[in-house]
Amino acid sequence: RKPSLAMVEYSLLESATNNFSESNILGEGGFGFVYKACFDGGFLAAVKKLNGGRQDCEREFENEVNLLGKIQHPNIISLLGYCLHGEMRFLVYELMHNGSLETQLHGPSHGSALTWHIRMKIALDAARGLEYLHEHCNPPVIHRDLKSSNILLDSEFNAKISDFGLAVTGGNENKGNIKLSGTLGYVAPEYLLDGKLTEKSDVYAFGVVLLELLMGRKPVEKLAPSQCRTIVTWAMPQLTDRSKLPNIVDPAIKNTMDLKHLYQVAAVAVLCVQPEPSYRP
Ligand code: ACK
């Protein structure tokens, strides 16, 4: 059982981050900055400062506290505490020394630290985290924004899924009653085209992450819905025959997720990133 979340005093955050100094900034996301914090006794953490006043800031904050605050799993980032100060909202997480998978893959080091063994392990870790959200949370949690920048790596390159600001419990088998959100390039075609949201939307995004890991390429961001429809229409009949699919997924991963869906999303994602011909299913 997860220990209860700590409500952290603003003054403690100020001193742990050197008054939110620039030198403590770990990175920036759409929500605001993330700072490295050193608390009394040398305990290190990461503090996310949400841009206050934004319409969706409060929802993001509540989502993280209410959903992530109850989850404890080795492949899901640990939320340790939170702080409210006027309009400002802060979330305190375990520190992930190697930052995001996106920075590792596409940043200055171009993935040089990521051996094939590590990449496979990252894929497996992310699959385990996702499986936990979908199969073991009650009700199931759909992350809705899985992408390489939301997969964080600790000092030993263990991967953990982060950023639950857009997560929802339960999907919508019928179209359209949840606002379309996520990141283009990772959004599942049926969600983008018809607004149908299920756990499989996350599995599609996971397929795109697999391709980033395998090919070191960023997903195509500006895939127009019409292109998307063409690709999916072309791909789906072929996907029923597994022998035509690329043999790119570690056997260990096959056992942790629904293989049929995993292969389907990976194969559609292969098409979406327009890879080398040899990878085409
Ligand atoms: O790739 P990065 O260095 O790792 O840049 C992003 C940035 O903040 C925006 O998400 C970094 N970041 C986010 N959460 C954490 C964390 N818990 N530990 C370390 N870095 C983090 C992320």
Predicted TM-score (pTM) of this structure: 0.82
* Ranges of the chain with pLDDT below 50: 175, 239-260, 263, 273-281
User: H helices then E strands: how many in the chain?
Assistant: 9, 10
The annotated binding site is made up of: 49
Smallest CA separation from ligand 1 atom 11, residue: 27
CA–CA distance, 143 with 164 (Å, rounded to integer) = 6
Q: What is the ipTM of this complex?
A: 0.98
The preferred substitution site among 22, 24, 26, 93 for testing ligand 1, maximizing ligand atoms within 8 Å of CB, is 26
CA–CA distance, 65 with 115 (Å, rounded to integer) = 34
The preferred substitution site among 22, 28, 33, 34 for testing ligand 1, maximizing ligand atoms within 8 Å of CB, is 34
Nearest to 274 by CA among 200, 206, 237, 220: 220
The 3-state DSSP class for residue 142 equals strand
Structure tokens at 240: 């029923």
Output the pLDDT for position 184. 78
Q: How far is the CA of 183 from the centre of ligand 1 (A)?
A: 17
Question: Taking CB atoms and a 6 Å cutoff, what residues make up the pocket around ligand 1?
Answer: 26-29, 34, 46, 77, 93, 95-96, 99-100, 102-103, 152, 162
Listed in order, strand segments (DSSP E) in the chain are 6-7, 25-29, 32-38, 44-50, 79-85, 88-94, 141-142, 151-153, 159-161, 168-169
The preferred substitution site among 47, 152, 155, 160 for testing ligand 1, maximizing ligand atoms within 8 Å of CB, is 152
Q: How far is the CA of 28 from the centre of ligand 1 (A)?
A: 7
Q: How many CB atoms lie within 10 A of CB 110?
A: 11
User: HSE-up of 50 (CA within 13 Å, CB side)?
Assistant: 28
Residues 6+ apart with CB under 8 A from 149: 29, 100, 101, 102, 103
Mapping DSSP onto H, E and C, the string for 233-260 reads HHHHHHHCCHHHCCCCCCHHHHCCCCHH
pLDDT tens for 62-110 read 999 999 999 999 999 999 999 999 989 999 999 999 999 999 999 999 8
pLDDT tens for 52-67 read 777 788 889 999 999 9
Catalytic residues: 145
Smallest CA separation from ligand 1 atom 7, residue: 27
Q: How far is the CA of 49 from the centre of ligand 1 (A)?
A: 12
